[in-house]
Structure formats: C-alpha cells, structure tokens
Structure 1
Amino acid sequence: MLHETTISFIGSGIMAEAMIKGVLDRQLTSSDRILAAGPRADRGYALTERYGIHSTTSNLEAARASEIVVLSVKPQVLPKVLRELNGHIEPGALVLSIAAGTRIRAISRGIGGHQAIVRAMPNTPAQLGKGITVWTSTPQVSEVQRQQADQVLGALGETIWMEDEAYLDMATALSGTGPAYVFLFIEALIDAGVHLGFSRRVAEQLVLQTMDGSLAVARTSARHPATLRNMVTSPGGTTAEALYQLEKGGLRTIISKAVYSAYQKSKLLGEMSEK
C-alpha cells in the first residue's frame, strides 16, 4: 500500500526515527520516498546518513511534496507548526498526528480545514518496535489511506483502531503513560532488592528477568492474570504475605486513581487544544 507513496515527517525526533526505521525494516517503501523535516540540519544529516532518506529544515517543503504528512512534533510546538502548514497540504493528502493531547478538530482548524486526518497515540516501546498504538480517523480518510496509516503505525508495534476519538484520551492514560508506571514498579522492586542486601546490579538482573518472564507467561497463557497469580501463591506462604501487604497498602486503588488522573489530564489538554 505504501510502495508508491511519499511520506513526510514534520518533526525528526525519536518517534519519527522509530517510524522511519520500522517502515524501512519492513520494506513498506523505499528510503527515497521518505522526507524528514526538523529545525536542526545536523539531525537531518544524521538521519540521511543512517537511513538514506531525504531531509530538510523546511516544513513547507516537506508537506508540499507528500501524500502522507506525519505530524511528529512535540504537542507544545504543534500549534506553531499547524499555522505554518495552513493551506500548504495537498487536498488529497493524509495527515497523521502522533502529538499527544491535540484533537482532530484542532488539527483540522489549524491547517485550514483539511479533513483527511488520523490521530494516533503510540507509546515509548515503539522505539524498539514493541509499542502499541491506539488510533482513529475521520470519515474523510479513505479505505486505502486507513490501510496505509495502519501500516505506518504498525511499524511501531501493534495497533488498535477505535471509531470514537474519546478512546484516545483513555489510551493516553493507560498505554501512553503506562511505561512510566511499569518503570516505577521496576525501580521500586530493584530498590527493595538492594534494601534486602543484593547489589544493585544483581537486583536489577533479578527484577528485569522476572518481569520479562512473567510478561511472556501472561501473553502465552489463556488464563486470567488472577489465576496466574493464585498459581504462585501458596496458602500461608511468602507470596501470600507479600500480596497481603500490597493489598493492605491500596495498590489497586492507587493504580486506578493514577490512571484516572492521567485520563482527566489528557481530556483537559484536548479541550485546551480546541480553544
């Protein structure tokens, strides 16, 4: 679907590079059909050297030349970029935004009413092709463009399309912010291991391999996570004692509150983007 399609990335940071690498690794298109735009010429040169793509410091040059325009800038920079691109995107082009918190209506208004827009919420494991992206699209996005968007986003890992844009705020709170929750839990476990007497290196090795193995079991097993937890919890044993303390401390409640707070913040940022 992408072989004859020119893709421009407005913003040439980490996530843009992850998408470029994924698209090329999967041979979805050739490097001469990819253009990255960013304010730093040295960054562009580095991407050209690494992947053989074209680079420029002109957002307008990149946008005018493409059938798919990926908005991969930071959310706080996006309003300025949209004003710059206003009226300069081809009518039939697909605009794909991975900028967190900015709603489709704000993007459309910012670029002069353009209607074919995809909004996506990837997460940071996408840098390794291990991410998951929740995305949605306007009715004006054609079936071919939807398939193209899914391929581009699929270069980052798994994808889930949702009809209602409201799910993007939920995804921001759960999967978009999710890696931070996991890293915090990993950090806490490592610190607990050091407190017990392990060196930090050994504690880190024990925790990371335990996390990796547990995720593999959860992925491959058809059992509910509660069943898997019960399978390693002997009555009156060490695991039961540890879990009792976690439940007593309100682990489930605080996780739920944290995710809901992130959801509320995402909604607020979306509302602000439309003002």
Structure 2
Amino acid sequence: MNTSAQQALTLAFIGGGNMATALASGLIGKRCGAHDVLVIDPHEDTRRRWEQQGTQSAAQAGEQLAGQRIWVFAVKPQVMKDVVAACRPFLTPDTLIVSVAAGIPGSAISGWLGGHKRIVRCMPNTPALIGAGASGLFALDDVSDEDRGVVQQLLKATGEITWVDSDEQIDAVTGLSGSGPAYVFYFLEALIDGGIAMGLSPEKSRMLALATLRGATELAAMSPEPPSVLRDRVTSKGGTTAAALGVLETGKVAATVKQAMEAARVRAGELAGEFAR
C-alpha cells in the first residue's frame, strides 16, 4: 500500500471482542498505526485493553466515528441491527463498511444504513490472531475496485482470503472455515485423549498430536497431490493405518463432518431470518 493510502486508512471497530482483536492483531503496525484505530465497545475493561495498545476508544458511537474511513462491525448477530442504527447518523458517502457478523446479509445492513451499499461481508476465523486466518469476502454493488483492494490488503495481513459471489456462499464459508477451527480443535482433543488412554503422558500426547496435525496440514499445502492420494501413501494394505481408517469409515466420520458443516451453514441462514428483519 502506498504512503498516501496509508495516511487515509482510518478504522473503527464497532465491538472490541475476540474477532476484532484477531483482525486488529494483523493490521496494527502492518497496515495502520494504533492511533488510526477507534474501538467502540460498552465494556470498560475491553476499552482499557485496547487503549493500552494506543488506540482510541469510546463507549458508544459519536462524532469520532464520522472521521473513520472503514467501519468494521464485529458484534453478535442479535445486536447488529441496533448497533448499526446507533452508528448510522455518522455515516458518510465515503464510509466503507466491513461486517463480520455471521448470518446477516449485506442487503439487510444496507437497508439499516438507508441504502448505503459500500459494504463488504467478511467471514474470518480465529487463527487470524496469529496471521494464519482464512476469510471469505463478498462485496455489494457499490464497492469499487479500490475499496476491494483496500479490504483485500487489510485482510491479507490476517491470513488467506477469497472472494465469493453471494451471501449464500458466505454462509458456506461460515460452515467450512468460519467454524472450522472448532472442528480441528475437537479432533485435536480426541487425538490427545486417545494418546493418554493408550498410556502416553498428557505432555507427550499433546506434543505428538499437535506436530501430527501441523505436519500433515503443511504437507498437504505443499503437495500438488490431493489429500486422498497422500492418505493412500501412508495406508498399507492390512497395516496399522488401514485398521484405524476402517474404524473411521465404519463410524462414517467423513459424512458426519459434512453434516456438521451443513448444520453450521444452515444456522447462518437461520440467523438472517431471526435478526435481519
């Protein structure tokens, strides 16, 4: 990003919780200074934590908000409508909106903002905290190529990004990568507990489980072969891995994972019906 763009880059996080923290950790010092960031959150402890990083903070929307070019709504879906309404008086035509609220379509946010359509929906995930996130992005019609470039440069600081074509595809991103870290942590827990059950110490089981997941994922990312081929290469007929995979297949683990992802996608759509009216 050039110097003039950096000077123009001012952000407001409306909601200073975990997701805002994850996004800001990849932005502050890389794409903007802490003094360029305004955090609006009703909780004093949360504001104090942000202020310790050098950011501005406020308990509620006010005139400060009008001076921030990019607004990142990082609040729960059930309060999104009220929060957007509180911010609307300070909206300018130049304001670029980024929403990370699960299930709330861009059209609903636009309606709450009086037809403003410079809106990008973003579904990030918590590994953004360490710059290893995965985010899906969807832009409404009034988002310019320049706006897309700004959002893309911002979010690239937090990990991988991909643009999708609709709100429905953002819901699919929610089912895959948005909720995905929880699936991985669930499997990680199972590996650690399994190692302990087989007689390993908790420390050794944790180390081996973490290294296995990390190594397998990195190998898959580096290899031109699909995961199915990599799996076959470590599965000798009649061997230990074949015995283990046989249990997973009997338990229909792959089908269960797909069902879990679909449940998350469907729930994202339900949130729109519940909170986007």
Same fold (TM over 0.5): yes
Please tell me the root mean square deviation across aligned C-alpha atoms, in Å: 1.5
Q: How far is the alpha carbon of 1:35 from its aligned partner? A: 1.1
SS in 2 for 1:171: helix
Q: Is the 8 A contact 2:14 2:74 kept in 1?
A: yes
**Aligned residue for 1:107?**
109
Q: Is the 8 A contact 1:78 1:99 kept in 2?
A: yes
Structure 1 stretches lacking a partner, 5+ long: none
Q: How far is the alpha carbon of 1:139 from its aligned partner? A: 1.3
* Higher mean displacement: 31-40 or 120-129: 31-40
Separation in structure 2 between the aligned mates of residue 135 and residue 2 of structure 1, nearest angstrom: 22
Matches within 5 A, 1:80-229: 80-229=82-231
1:41 corresponds to 2:54: no
Matched residue type, 2:226:
H
**Aligned residue for 1:261?**
263
Percent identical pairs in the alignment equals 37
Deviations along 1:107-130, one digit per CA (max 9) or x if unpaired, are: 112222221111110011111111
SS in 2 for 1:59: coil
Separation in structure 1 between the aligned mates of residue 99 and residue 65 of structure 2, nearest angstrom: 13
Q: Is the 8 A contact 2:25 2:129 kept in 1?
A: no
Deviations along 1:69-123, one digit per CA (max 9) or x if unpaired, are: 1111222221220121233211221111111111111111222222111111001
**Aligned residue for 1:20?**
24
**Aligned residue for 2:67?**
65
Residues 1:13 and 1:61: Cα distance change in structure 2 (over 3 Å) = farther
SS in 2 for 1:223: coil
Q: Give the TM-score taking structure 2 as reference length.
A: 0.93
Deviations along 1:177-231, one digit per CA (max 9) or x if unpaired, are: 1111111111111111111111222111111111111111111111111111111
Deviations along 1:158-190, one digit per CA (max 9) or x if unpaired, are: 110112222100000111111111111111111
Matched residue type, 1:242:
A
Separation in structure 1 between the aligned mates of residue 181 and residue 126 of structure 2, nearest angstrom: 7
Matched residue type, 1:45:
R
Separation in structure 1 between the aligned mates of residue 154 and residue 273 of structure 2, nearest angstrom: 27
Separation in structure 2 between the aligned mates of residue 62 and residue 112 of structure 1, nearest angstrom: 20
Q: How far is the alpha carbon of 1:30 from its aligned partner? A: 2.6
Q: Is the 8 A contact 2:63 2:90 kept in 1?
A: no
Separation in structure 1 between the aligned mates of residue 63 and residue 16 of structure 2, nearest angstrom: 14
Q: How far is the alpha carbon of 1:62 from its aligned partner? A: 4.0
Q: How far is the alpha carbon of 1:43 from its aligned partner? A: 2.4
Q: Give the TM-score taking structure 1 as reference length.
A: 0.94
Q: Is the 8 A contact 1:123 1:133 kept in 2?
A: yes
Q: Is the 8 A contact 2:8 2:69 kept in 1?
A: no
Residues 1:192 and 1:245: Cα distance change in structure 2 (over 3 Å) = same
Q: How far is the alpha carbon of 1:21 from its aligned partner? A: 2.5
Separation in structure 1 between the aligned mates of residue 59 and residue 121 of structure 2, nearest angstrom: 24
**Aligned residue for 2:252?**
250
Q: Is the 8 A contact 1:106 1:273 kept in 2?
A: no
Residues 1:257 and 1:46: Cα distance change in structure 2 (over 3 Å) = closer
Separation in structure 2 between the aligned mates of residue 3 and residue 14 of structure 1, nearest angstrom: 26
Matched residue type, 2:133:
G
Residues 1:2 and 1:73: Cα distance change in structure 2 (over 3 Å) = farther
Separation in structure 2 between the aligned mates of residue 107 and residue 10 of structure 1, nearest angstrom: 14
* Higher mean displacement: 149-158 or 241-250: 149-158
Larger RCO (alpha carbons 8 Å, 6+ apart): 2
